Amino acid sequence: MFTMSLGDDGARLRPLEPWQAEEFLAHMDRARALVDPWIPFAAAATDLDSARALLQRYADKQAADTGRIYGIWLDGTLVGGVLFRIFDAATGSCEIGCWLEPAGQGRGLVHRASRKLIDWAFDVRGMHRVEWIASSANTRSVGAAARLGMTREGVLREAFLHHGVRHDEEIWAVLADEWRAAR
């Protein structure tokens, strides 16, 4: 199975697949309080069937080359993940996202894993643009985009309705030439 080191602390990045639904659900139960205020991702995996269905949707996206999902393991425990929520090879644009449980915070895991995804998108797949979209109120996510060297391109005011609250969405992006120059 594919697995990639994220550094000297033993953190690993590897695909999340439907057969891992039980492990993913246990992780999502630990992550739910951090994830659910910002995105509906946590609410999509509340029992074994829904966790398996979410992972199957991403397996189908990967087969169609329109998305992918990866887990971040630390000391053998799934503590977070990164994904290509949208992957459009024809236009050369994709969107990445992330999530963590408390045990994964403050270790730079999202930064390291996101760099691997961005490198792959530009260097292997020839993408032109990688986007990051986050609620303006989600300061951790906005900070992650900034630390990756992305440019804040704008705000879609009250564009995202979640739990009955309208969130402003910030659009961050990096272009292939910018990414390569920064390396």
Structure confidence by residue, pLDDT tens digits, 127-162: 999 999 999 999 999 999 999 999 999 999 999 998
Q: What is the mean pLDDT of residues 8-21?
A: 96
Q: Is residue 3 part of a domain?
A: no
**How, if at all, do strands 151-162 and 165-175 pair?**
antiparallel
Question: Is residue 27 in some structural domain?
Answer: yes
Tokens (6 digits) for 113: 């894993």
Integer-rounded Cα radius of gyration of the chain: 16
Q: What is the pLDDT of residue 86?
A: 97
In a domain, 4, yes or no: no
Segment 27-47, tens digit of pLDDT: 999 999 999 888 888 889 999
- Statement: residue 169 has pLDDT above 90: yes
- 2 domain residue, yes or no: no
Residue 110 maps to which CATH number?
3.40.630.30
Task: Give backbone dihedrals phi and psi of 138, rounded to 5 degrees, phi first.
Answer: -85, 80
Q: What is the number of domains present in the chain?
A: 1
Domain assignment of residue 134, yes or no:
yes
- Flag whether pLDDT at 10 surpasses 80: yes
138 in helix, strand or coil? coil
Q: How far apart are CA 30 and CA 67, in angstroms?
A: 24
Helix (H, G, I), strand (E, B), or coil: what is residue 144?
Answer: helix
Predicted pLDDT of residue 2: 81
Which amino acid type is present at position 38? Answer: W
Residue 164 is assigned to a structural domain of this protein: yes
- Cα separation, 77 vs 30, in Å, equals 11
How much is the pLDDT for 145?
A: 97
State yes or no: pLDDT of 3 exceeds 70.
yes
Give the span between the Cα atoms of 20 and 52, in whole angstroms: 8
pLDDT band at 1 (very low <50, low <70, confident <90, very high): low
**Mean predicted confidence (pLDDT) in 92-100:** 97
Residue 30 domain flag = yes
The mean pLDDT of the chain is 95
**Closest to 25 measured CA to CA, from 78, 87, 69:** 78
* Reported pTM: 0.94
Question: Strands, DSSP E only, in the chain?
Answer: 4-5, 12-15, 68-74, 77-88, 93-100, 129-135, 151-162, 165-175
pLDDT (0 to 100) of residue 183: 83
The pLDDT assigned to 119 comes to 97
Do 151 and 161 form a contact (C-beta atoms < 8 A)? no
Domain hosting 27: range is: 9-182
User: Which residues share a beta bridge with 173?
Assistant: 131, 151
- Whether residue 40 is contained in a domain is answered as yes
